[in-house]
Chain A
């Protein structure tokens, strides 16, 4: 029996108030999934420059990466992504290029909603694709933010973690939580239940709340056999309309954060790294041409980084559309030739053991969604 068959054949853990049922959790060997949302629209062309495409220098003379990290003759890697490059060399990482959700209207807010809901009509869903998959798998997750991202919203409430830093304030008492539970109902009651459980578990130990600190916390908690299986971290500020920079600059600094988050997750996940997949999501790519202010505007196709021990080989997966004017979407954007939903579906297969048919029908509601599991995980 291979690992995936094993996952699928074991009984599911029960989800209750953010924690899996202890007795069943110990029997189950589900994978972990970490999502990093790159808000603002990642410039995939700068992050993974297609150095073999001779049209690249013509389109963005100020944004050309000089010292890219070597991957293959056609694609380089931005020098800020040193840790990710090591993972590539260790067969623990994969890049999907010219990819995105099939959304072309270039609005941050519609795009982010689609990326999180997994539904192509913006603002039409109260749940996220990962939340629905967690419901199907009956597993728990944790959002490392004040709010609960739409991405992980499903039938069950999801825990949050974002440690308070209010001078002079006291930790919430059980008596107070009980008083609130007495006046709450619905989702407020569920939320108070989660908070009460967190207080019982004394989860007040970790204070850092920058992306890297949160990643370290996430990995530490996910390493635990009764900890959350899913985590979500947001990294903002990829909306590089001006002064984007190349090897250095604003975009490079953002990629360094992503790289540090990936390393922090790997370091803190310990042994369960081998059973983990990390995925980056972004609402859209950016224009192939630079604009008049040394930046790039909202586009379509981007790149996604995958990392984790669930990958068996490192690859760059792309049906590269080319950067000639006639090959650009509306003569401005890199085409997205790979549907990011298929990538997410493959990661759900690998980490949760769900069947592709179930994912496409009950998670993405897209009967014709292509299966990319073999291309990514074989």
Chain B
């Protein structure tokens, strides 16, 4: 397999990737050792600026902003009631307040922007896998926290162990809210997060755990997280590990035969146990292989990854390297998610459908609204939120905790095909691609057969779309 082919398989595409590495081992080592700094595009000579700190919010700032929003919202509602404002006027005032505090839109833009321009592409790819494994969808306050969950927990977690990643994902306020653990306390058990911790995030149903195991895991989780109202009353809490003794259930608990100690450390003990359980290792190794190598990975592939997992105590950089090496050596096909494919289209063609942050019209930025010759406002076209939704893969959307499917059949439909055609069309029509179809074919080592068929298409736009919608880009 060549660099261009592997980059197709993994959904990558920037110029730097192709020019920096001559073989696959160097590519994997080089990309895995890069620090993910977001938004920097060295090979484009600073054309795209780094994402500014003023548009990045840490967890404390987010919790403060959410709390301030609700405090002001309650006051606003009271005031509007007294003034007996019309429905439209109320909606307008609510929107103005929302714009002041909401971070979701900025987060989505940053996410999409990094997909197009961020460095350390393989790390970004890995982060999408894990963001999906630990799905947090749109419930209550979660959409204001997902951006931080991705950046602080998932991206940072790529450098550590699976146990750390599982622990900090489980107790991130976004997850605790999404899976209702904010309501799980000594006054009443809510087992939603506990169930998914076992079923989706670790051992999987293959272990045949019991309802009693789920119930006891829920007891371990009782006291973790709090509702927005509670959050406003409590200050100076470490929001990365938001545990309240007063809401916890005291005493030891037994999960899967393992005694879990009382107190805050109980969750860490449970997660350390689950992380190195053979069912977890097998379940998640399989999931990684299905995603990066293809649905028909072999038993030998699985054995290689599980051996690395066991030998490294779940060291993620080593596990990732093992999986990517198998992907590079395998001739199995893997299907590319629509969102990753979208990033690949823009990167590989060097299209500027999405702009630098300063052109995005985000809070505090200079608002530049270029129009193309057809009179379209390009910011309007490059609405990242809408693009992700339209491609069927927005990480901020309402969805079930099993996340987006890794099965090819779940992504093959006439509507999904229509969306890909439309997206590639947008990239061509509005992105001013810096590369021709032929150059892209060269970079990605497409087969001679496909090249011959595509060269028969005379219209540049149609050839561009057909290239990216060809089987060799949909499933490399």
Contact = CB atoms under 8 A, between A and B. Distances in A.
B386 A167 contact: yes
A1 interface: no
A179 B450 CA distance: 11
B229 to A, nearest CB: 12
Interface string A157-177: 001111011111110110110
B409 A126 contact: yes
A206 interface: no
B402 A108 contact: yes
B30 interface: no
Interface stretch (A182-190, A319-327, A350-358, A359-367): A182-190
B189 A291 contact: yes
Interface in B415-444: 415-419, 421-423, 425-426, 429-430
Interface stretch (A3-11, A73-81, A234-242, A305-313): A234-242
A179 B430 contact: no
Nearest to A297: B191
A369 to B, nearest CB: 25
Contact of B470 (A105, A160, A183, A191): A183
Contacts of A107: 195, 199, 205
A236 B402 CA distance: 14
Interface stretch (A25-33, A83-91, A141-149): A141-149
Contacts of B190: 241-242, 291-293, 295, 297
B176 to A, nearest CB: 12
Contacts of A71: none
B144 interface: no
Contact of B415 (A39, A108, A146, A182): A146
Counting chain B CB atoms within 10 Å of each CB, the highest count among A40, A105, A169, A198 belongs to A169
27 contacts: A39-B400, A109-B402, A110-B205, A146-B392, A146-B413, A159-B414, A164-B415, A166-B419, A166-B423, A167-B381, A168-B376, A169-B422, A175-B462, A176-B421, A179-B466, A182-B453, A182-B456, A187-B412, A191-B414, A195-B414, A195-B418, A239-B400, A241-B183, A241-B192, A242-B180, A242-B183, A330-B211
A195 B465 CA distance: 15
B188 A291 contact: yes
B398 interface: yes
B409 A167 contact: no
Nearest to B466: A179
Given A160-B413, A191-B412, A241-B190, A165 B462 contact: no
Contacts of A164: 390, 415, 418-419, 422
Interface string A286-317: 00000111110110000000000000000000
Contact of A237 (B386, B398, B418): B398
Nearest to A199: B418
Contact of B430 (A40, A168, A175, A188): A168
B429 A168 contact: yes
Contacts of B421: 172, 176, 180
A168 B188 contact: no
Given A166-B386, A188-B474, A147 B413 contact: yes
B412 A183 contact: no
A109 to B, nearest CB: 5
Given A148-B413, A297-B191, 12 more contacts: A146-B415, A147-B410, A159-B414, A166-B390, A168-B376, A169-B425, A170-B429, A180-B466, A236-B398, A236-B399, A293-B183, A294-B183
B441 to A, nearest CB: 12
Given A143-B413, A292-B189, A297-B191, A241 B180 contact: yes
A192 interface: yes
A165 B386 contact: yes
A135 B462 CA distance: 35
A153 interface: yes
A198 B381 CA distance: 25
B418 A172 contact: yes
Interface of A is mostly: loop
A65 interface: no
A192 B417 CA distance: 8
Given A146-B415, A160-B414, A170-B425, A293 B383 contact: no
Contacts of A292: 183-185, 187-190
Interface in B167-206: 180, 183-185, 187-192, 195, 199-200, 205
Nearest to B402: A109
Contacts of B463: 179
Interface residues of B, number: 60
A194 interface: yes
Contacts of A297: 190-192
A116 B195 CA distance: 22
Interface string B392-410: 1000001111100000011
Counting chain B CB atoms within 10 Å of each CB, the highest count among A165, A175, A293 belongs to A293
A145 B450 CA distance: 31
Contacts of B419: 146, 164, 166
A188 B412 contact: yes
A184 B471 contact: yes
9 residue pairs, one from A and one from B, having the closest CB atoms: A292-B188, A293-B183, A169-B422, A160-B415, A168-B381, A195-B414, A241-B180, A160-B413, A194-B414
Contacts of A241: 180, 183, 190, 192
A293 B381 contact: no
B380 A168 contact: yes
B476 interface: no
B273 interface: no
A285 B297 CA distance: 36
Contacts of A295: 180, 183, 190
Counting chain B CB atoms within 10 Å of each CB, the highest count among A146, A160, A184, A297 belongs to A146
Contacts of A145: 415
B195 A298 contact: yes
Contacts of B418: 164, 172, 195
Nearest to B381: A168
Contacts of A110: 205
A325 to B, nearest CB: 15
B269 interface: no
B416 A146 contact: yes
A191 to B, nearest CB: 5
Nearest to B222: A292
Contacts of B416: 146-147, 160
B457 interface: yes
Nearest to B415: A160
A52 B402 CA distance: 38
Contacts of A330: 211
Contacts of B412: 148, 187-188, 191
B363 interface: no
